A and B are shown apart, each in its own frame.
Chain A
Amino acid sequence: MENIYIGLVGSLLVLDTTVAFQFLISQPLIACTLLGWFLGDIQLGVQVGMYLQLLWLSSMPVGAAIVPEGNLAAIVIAALVIRYNDSFENFNTVLICGLLYGIIVSYLGGELVVIFRKANQYFLHKVLALARKGKLNFLNVINYLGLIFHYTLMFVLIALAMYLGDFLFTYVLKIPVEWDKYFKYVVMSLIGIGSGLVLSLFKEKLYQQLIAVGLVIGCILFVLQ
């Protein structure tokens, strides 16, 4: 039943990605924290959000571009990590297996957005036909229906991803705890992978100079700590 609740809350957060508001509450840092609070482990939620935040940040939802649903994937990953992390003994294994699974979920989320956008053409034809007949109130109804339709699609994907995740994680939990040390290397590299991807956004020379300044400040901050 908890998977259904995660689906209900998660798809509400995912609406913020493109369909409604766009206040950034769907970003992993905030969404994973809220989900952590909802699932009773807000600290772990913040930690998972921190690791995942940069990974999908470089994909920009420009025009008709299909970008991976990284925010949706982060919600699924955070929920699985909170559920299967066993007193941090297998934290690295669970996080990285969750991430690899999340990459597939983010791809499926992107494909679902294509289906959603194609299906919305049906709404367009409907609203055009109704407008010609003078049934103008339907425009409001159809706009809200589009919102509900997107919410439902995302709910189904998150809930299914959680149930399938539960099945897959029965195998992940069989991975010996001693192997966690291998996965730690990947966890340590996550911020690096995200940073490498985000660097591609800073193309102007001024920003690149500031990145260099930032590198020096980072060293000073580390020494001072």
Chain B
Amino acid sequence: MKKRRLNTYVFISMFFRSFLIQAVWNYQSMLSIGFCFALVPVANRLFKDRQKRIEFYNRHLNFFNAHPYFSSFALGAISRVEEDMVLEKKDEYIKVDRLKNALMGPLGAIGDQLVWATLKPASILVCLLAVLLIDIYETKIVFLFVLFVLYNIPHLYIRIFGIVKGYQSGYDVYKILKIERYKTVKNLYGALGGLAIGIIISYSILQSGEADVKFAIVFAISLLTAYFYKKYKQSIYLSLAIPSVLALFIGIIIENL
């Protein structure tokens, strides 16, 4: 068993570089420049020969796309495969391309479902609920830090765990890329988000109704208009503008009755 070449310094450097993985996102190769940028410490460590490094760069500047956080799994796995090739003196780099192509779908799908559709809205909704319920302004600020922590603990965990597990797994990384593995955290955050939005709606309706029943009615009409317009038309701009203008017209009519 040959001594492994990649060390902790390489992985720490890769971790920090992964925060800029979308800096040059483009329609042609999507994440590729950022992905290759994050792999630079690996190339520097594995290849002393300049020509080999040029080949490495050209390999990884090809098309690649994934969820930005979950791309850390690909970074870890590709590092392992590249290192194995060097240690075993093989150059079957076609396998590297195949691995990258195979990872794109799962990394994107899990990331979008888990992060964009669950962790992010749930963290924000919980924090917003606290800001709505609490009157003391200093405590509201504290809850902004809570939002930051609530979201970034899983965020940073995915980035770190992805690099570590990806590297440990190599070609077998696909075995750990299943949404079921994240079911607990997805359900926990989803439940928190669902509860929070429910509380926000009923509490806000009652609060506006306490000020004036007319406000509660406008609140409910706006909610339903936005919900159904978004559901059937998908346009975010009109889903925002139409209920706003509608609420204004209702206000003008009620005040002039």
Contacts and interface: CB of A to CB of B under 8 A. Distances in A.
10 contacts: A68-B236, A107-B237, A123-B26, A127-B61, A136-B43, A139-B36, A188-B247, A191-B200, A198-B197, A212-B198
A145 B225 CA distance: 43
Given A24-B151, A123-B24, A194-B226, 9 more contacts: A19-B25, A25-B148, A29-B131, A100-B241, A128-B58, A146-B24, A193-B223, A198-B125, A217-B198
Contacts of A100: 241, 244
Contacts of B228: 196
Interface string A168-195: 0000000000000111111011111111
**A contacts with B: majority SS:** helix
Interface string A110-140: 0000000110110110011001101010011
Contact of B215 (A42, A131, A185): A185
Given A188-B208, A191-B204, A221-B199, A22 B218 contact: no
A127 B33 CA distance: 8
A214 interface: yes
Contacts of A144: 20, 23
A207 interface: yes
B30 interface: yes
Residue from A25, A185, A201 whose CB has the most chain B CB atoms within 10 Å: A185
B12 interface: no
Contact of A193 (B27, B207, B222): B222
Contacts of B182: none
A23 B255 CA distance: 44
A23 B148 contact: yes
Contacts of A185: 214-215, 218, 247-248, 250-251, 254
Interface string B213-233: 011001111111111101100
Contacts of B236: 56, 58-59, 67-68, 197
B9 interface: no
Interface of B: 19-20, 22-30, 32-34, 36-37, 40, 43, 50, 53-54, 57-58, 61, 65, 68-69, 108, 112, 116-117, 120-121, 123-125, 127-128, 131-133, 137, 140-141, 144, 147-148, 151-152, 155, 187, 190-191, 193-208, 211, 214-215, 218-228, 230-231, 236-237, 239-241, 243-244, 247-248, 250-252, 254-255
A204 interface: yes
B230 A33 contact: no
Contacts of A190: 222, 244
Interface residues on A, range: 35 or more
A192 B237 contact: no
A208 B194 contact: yes
Contacts of A160: none
Contacts of A145: 24
A136 B200 CA distance: 52
B198 A211 contact: yes
A205 to B, nearest CB: 11
Contacts of A215: 198-199, 201-202
B206 A143 contact: no
A52 to B, nearest CB: 10
A1 interface: no
Contacts of A192: 201, 204-205, 218-220, 222-223, 226, 243
